[in-house]
Amino acid sequence: MNALVQPPELTAGRTVTECPACGGAQFVAVGGTVPAFDSPTAGRTIRQPAFSIRCCAGCGLYFKSNTLSPAELDDYYTRPEYDAYEHDGNSPTDRILHDVFERLPAGRKILDFGCNTGSIVKELTRHHECFGVEINAAAAAIARARGIRIITEDNVRAGEQRDFDAIILADVYEHLSQPFELVTMLVKALKLGGWLAIATGNADAVRTRDRMGEFWYFGSPGHLLMMSERHVKWLADRLGVQIKELYRCSHCDVPFGQRTKQYIQSFAYHQFHRNPRGLISTVLRLVPVIQRAEHWPNAPALTCTADHFVAIFEKR
């Protein structure tokens, strides 16, 4: 296979010296450094710079110390690999959002910001006027065919589209280099009494704090940050909104057998790396298959925990 060549301007990376949300410079390092790694994406390889995880002392946001450059992030999001994020409205977070928005009376105005193909709101188009913002042209075309009116971020920012009864920000917050600036704009576009729903990662669910950077969520080069419950409360306070509901769930359905396998693999990996000469590690080396975890370069994916929030804010 021929090596994929990256344009020089897309490989510089970016060092994050201030909290992406509140701009604070006081933070605590959580765990060690994760070495740089390559991530194949839509016909090219993206190089995630080495990073550590920092927790902001001011607002409780967890974020990478080094990320892709702005140019590379733009390229990453406009590539046509949208189907990797197509859950057809059937992930646990999507089901929660459906249940929440089923309560709205018919005829409401709903915006899905970062709608991808419109899988979350496509069923809502039968009873509501649904809008979407999506920068990936191929995904936006599918959403439009599903009855979702595609608008631009500039339309919302300029006030050309506003007075929404509800706005959804699902699997978007973690991709934002300036999340507070965006959600402030979205709250302005809501009616009084309107709802802002944010579905994103829950850093409080990561049990292996000493190796937090290896948690599967940070394995995506596009995932720049992760919420905590303290950050949810900080957001509500700063935005002047009320936390209406807060759900904790997994991002995907994992069968019992797969969950058991994930827990065993995760336990073995962290035992080998924390205390390689300990009694438990010695016993694990005697177990076929499980002994391989000692030589894995990265922590195995643990996707069955309550590693996501769905936070519903109400504008007052």
How do residues 183-220 score in pLDDT, each as one tens digit? 999 999 999 999 999 999 999 999 999 999 999 999 99
* pLDDT one-digit tens code per residue, 231-256: 999 999 999 999 999 999 999 899 99
Q: How far apart are CA 53 and CA 28, in angstroms?
A: 8
Per-residue confidence (pLDDT) for residue 9, from 0 to 100: 38
Burial, 105: exposed, middle or buried (Cβ in 10 Å; 0-12, 13-18, 19+)?
exposed
pTM of the model: 0.90
Residue ranges for the chain with pLDDT beneath 70: 1-12, 42, 79-89
Q: What is the pLDDT at residue 19?
A: 98
- Rounded CA separation 140/117 (Å): 6
DSSP lists the bridge partners of residue 198 as: 169, 311
> What is the pairing mode between strands 66-67 and 14-15?
antiparallel
Query: Shortest CA distance to 146 belongs to which of 135, 168, 130?
Result: 130
Q: Which residue has the tokens 């009873």?
A: 127
Burial of 201 (0-12, 13-18, 19+ CB in 10 A): buried
| pLDDT attached to residue 2 | 31
CA neighbor of 187 nearest in space, from 316, 20, 19, 23 = 316
Rounded CA separation 291/294 (Å): 6
Q: What is the pLDDT of residue 307?
A: 96
Q: % helix / strand / coil in the chain, to the nearest 5?
A: 35, 25, 40
Start-to-end C-alpha separation, the chain: 57
Compute CA distances 82 → 78, 85, 278, 289, whole Å. Answer: 9, 6, 45, 35
Q: Return the HEC string of 168-226.
A: EEECCHHHCCCHHHHHHHHHHCEEEEEEEEEEEEEHHHCCCHHHHHHCHHHHCCCCCEE
Return d(Cα 217, Cα 304) in angstroms, integer.
12
Structural domain boundaries in the chain: 8-78, 82-252+306-315, 256-295
- Name beta bridge partners: 309: 200, 248
Q: What is the pLDDT of residue 3?
A: 34
Give pLDDT, residue 81.
Answer: 62
- Please give the CATH number for the structural domain made up of 82-252+306-315: 3.40.50.150
